[in-house]
Amino acid sequence: MSVKVRVYATLRERVRWSSRDVELNAPEVTLSKLLDLLPDLRDAMYGVGLEHFIILVNGHNIMLLEGLETRVRDGDVIDIFPQAAGGYLTLSGLG
């Protein structure tokens, strides 16, 4: 089984790659197990705190699925984004 993991923005700088194809020896694994197989990514994310990342499996936010217990299957694409922070807009459009 193979899945693609893509990382974005400052996370790319921390792990020094933007995309990896990961071969797994099981028909499905959890995201938690997948992160264990990518120690550079796991350490970069846990060092900052997982709550500071948005993780999508095939475009679906894992917070709306089963979190880190979400299962990934052959051909899945996992996208990981650091959360953006900063300003806000009021109803009038002025911050």
Full pLDDT tens readout for the chain, 95 residues: 999 999 999 999 999 999 999 999 988 899 999 999 999 999 999 888 888 899 999 999 999 999 999 999 999 999 999 987 655 544 444 44
**Angstrom distance (rounded) from CA 83 to CA 74:** 27
Segment holding 26, helix H or strand E: none
Q: Which residue has the tokens 């694409």?
A: 77
CATH classification of 2-82, choosing from 3.40.630.30, 3.10.20.30, 3.30.413.10, 3.40.50.720? 3.10.20.30
Say what the pLDDT of residue 71 is.
96
pTM: 0.84
**Angstrom distance (rounded) from CA 86 to CA 76:** 31
Q: Rounded to whole angstroms, what are the CA distances from 47 to 11, 14, 44, 72, 88?
A: 11, 11, 5, 23, 27
Say what the pLDDT of residue 49 is.
86
Say what the pLDDT of residue 85 is.
63
